[in-house]
Amino acid sequence: MSSEKPFSVAIPDTELDLLRKKLELVRFPDELDGAAWDYGVPLADIRRLVERWKTGFDWKAAEAKINQFPQFTRDIDVDGFGELNIHYIHQRSDASNAIPLIFIHGWPGHFMEVSKILPLLVSTTEKYPSFHVVALSLPGYGFSEAPKQKGFSVTQFGEVAHKLMLSLGYDEYVVQGGDWGHLVARNMAHTYGQKHVKAWHTNFPFCQPPSLFKHPVLWIKFMITPFTPRDWAGLKRMTQWLQSGQGYAGIQQTRPQTHGYSMADSPVGLLAWIYDKLVDWTDNYDWDDDEILAWVSIYWFSRAGPMAASRIYAEFVRVGGIPPWSPVPLGVSYFPKEVMPVPKLWTRTIGNVVFESEHSAGGHFAAYEKPQDLVRDLRSMFGKEGGLHLL
């Protein structure tokens, strides 16, 4: 494992010129009258965003904002896969008793999802705990190297995150994750808790209802406990998403390479693919066009190319990686416009739930949409009243 090296994002002008040329050569599809969002992203939205990306968006300004955060790279040896050069943000708090926390993103997220919560988490206050924050680019995402072999699934993502924390001197730490970050964190709790992973928190409690054979006591509770209005609303949202919102996953699970040609060659195709999720998975978040373009540009300029990030879907189906119940303390934040909101009782099937918080607004990208709410939950979970001021 090599020593860390300071890192700054510096996309060459040749890459910026190539992007503009590709945007100038765009050929838009037609659109049915009055389609709006019924068939996917409206043509008017993509036309507007492409024009802004081509003539008005300032990547250098976005790059400067990214480089305000302390970034590094380090080689991490992954069992059976060799060394991967991993990119990450690492900012320590001034508080002597700060809790080491690693933030793990998913797809179509990236390391900059941490940008709004990091300043709040590292700040020092007598009332709430402070955190040393690490946010990596998962292998194949952002500015991390991608694996070259098949079979690199959430277990290996967790190994990378764990070894990164050890290399930074954090023998004990906590994990926060949503989307794929949930499954990575869950694997880390199972594999490295309770010695290293002291607790974990998720805003995406992906799970199934209790089963009679695996969770007999929970199953009985499930059968006799009526759903709350929140439960019914969440199940309706989940049903809608399963019926009309998960098609992207089927493509990325079964044909990531085929899909990858369009993602790697067409910035407009990439924009539409990600923009669809940023709008559909959030709770009426007021996206600024430049926010969207900065987000998508991180994928376009990523070290391994935008296709590499979607391979996790295929690897997870082939390799698996859902661990059994873990005794490591778990905190859950429930946001109503999450893509798969589940009843609280279901989350008992995945871990030792010690903290829960319900929110009246917010969607899939909680750290970015509702940073104050998520930070409040983490402070409460690990504060004195939460009983998990562990480290």
Catalytic residues: 179, 313, 364
User: Are 199 and 329 in contact, with CB atoms under 8 Å apart?
Assistant: yes
Task: Give the Cα separation of 251 and 247 in Å (integer).
Answer: 7
Both tokens of 149, joined, read 């072999």
Task: Give the Cα separation of 289 and 127 in Å (integer).
Answer: 37
Quick one: which of 179, 156, 177, 170 has its CA closest to 198?
Answer: 170
For every residue of 333-384, DSSP letters joined together read EE-TBSSS---HHHHTTTEEEEEEEE-SS-BS-HHHH-HHHHHHHHHHHHST
Task: Give the Cα separation of 224 and 64 in Å (integer).
Answer: 55
Phi, psi of 266 (to 5 degrees): -120, 105
Both tokens of 314, joined, read 């295929």
For every residue of 197-262, DSSP letters joined together read EEEEEES--------TTT-HHHHHHHHHSPPPHHHHHHHHHHHHHHHHT-HHHHHHHH-HHHHHHH
DSSP state of 105: -
Phi, psi of 262 (to 5 degrees): -70, -35
User: Are 345 and 218 in contact, with CB atoms under 8 Å apart?
Assistant: yes
